[in-house]
Amino acid sequence: MNTPNVEAVKLDELNCWRIRHGQAEVLVAQQGAHILSYQIDGQPPIIWLNDKAVFKTGKSIRAGVPVCWPWFGKFERNPQSVQAMYTGEQPAPAHGLVRAMDWELGGIESEADGVKVEFKLPYPEGGLPGWPHQVDLTLTLHLSEQLSFSLTSHNRGSDTVSLSQALHTYFAVSDVRNVHVDGVNGLNYIETLDDWKTNTQQGDLHFAGETDRIYLDAPPQLSIVDAAWERRIVLTATGSRTAVIWNPWIDRAAALTDMDNDGWQRMLCIETANVMDDVVTLAPSASHTMGVSIDSKPL
């Protein structure tokens, strides 16, 4: 059994952990329990660490795997059952409430085939700001020959809670214009850039412009095929029936202060999600786990 190597590091204002097992390395920030990067020795990165990401206390990070919870995206686009959970007087921020909060390291354990790391969200008295519900949140990471991570919500309150969520993963690619996603052929998707119309995917997904789609009833497995890097990144999801695929392209990236103007070429987001009619409803004492396993395979 390999002994995991765990090193505490700091990126500007943020406390982080660099975790190695065998030839694999993952970097995680305490703020947001945010996986920042994942790479295997001698290979290109698998999870994208944006060169211009900002590592400041209280600021969400545009890189890696942001945790979007207890709602995803623009609040007003969420189902009414999710919106009803929020009682705050301030406008609800996009992508929820936990991306910029410090999580607690629950523990690091060696396992037969890797290492397990657990993060827990400390629960403020009275719940999150504007969200007074008693739901415990845990992010569990397994690093072995592949990387798996999952988000578990446990309702320990007396009321039923509805939430949407996503593991907003930025994948590193050689050039998004020359990769494609397979596993989506025939799926219905919501085209958010065209008045949220529903369309049907014909063939694999190739990229020739800004993309922001919600794929409905997605299969458990999708792949990013990257011929230039001679690899296929295989994503296997659990507890999720929706996948959000996003790339900002030229104009949107130019408007982002925390991304290089050409940064869009080097990344592709495929987000494991529970959104739209796939939202999570938790009865008292109920739990739900959504996760994804990421495996890089040669073409």
Q: Which residues are catalytic?
A: 168, 271
Q: How many CB atoms lie within 10 A of CB 13?
A: 12
Distance CA 247, CA 269 (A): 6
Q: What does DSSP assign to residue 122?
A: -
Name every residue whose Cβ is closer than 8 Å to that of residue 130 and which is 6 or more positions away in sequence. 86, 87, 88, 89, 90, 92, 97
Terminal Cα distance for the chain, rounded: 29
Distance CA 230, CA 297 (A): 9
Residues listed for the chain:
299
Give the SS3 label for residue 281: strand
Give start and end residues of each alpha helix (H) in 57-202: 80-83
Tokens of 52: 């211009």
Chain mean position to CA 261: 22
Distance CA 166, CA 194 (A): 22
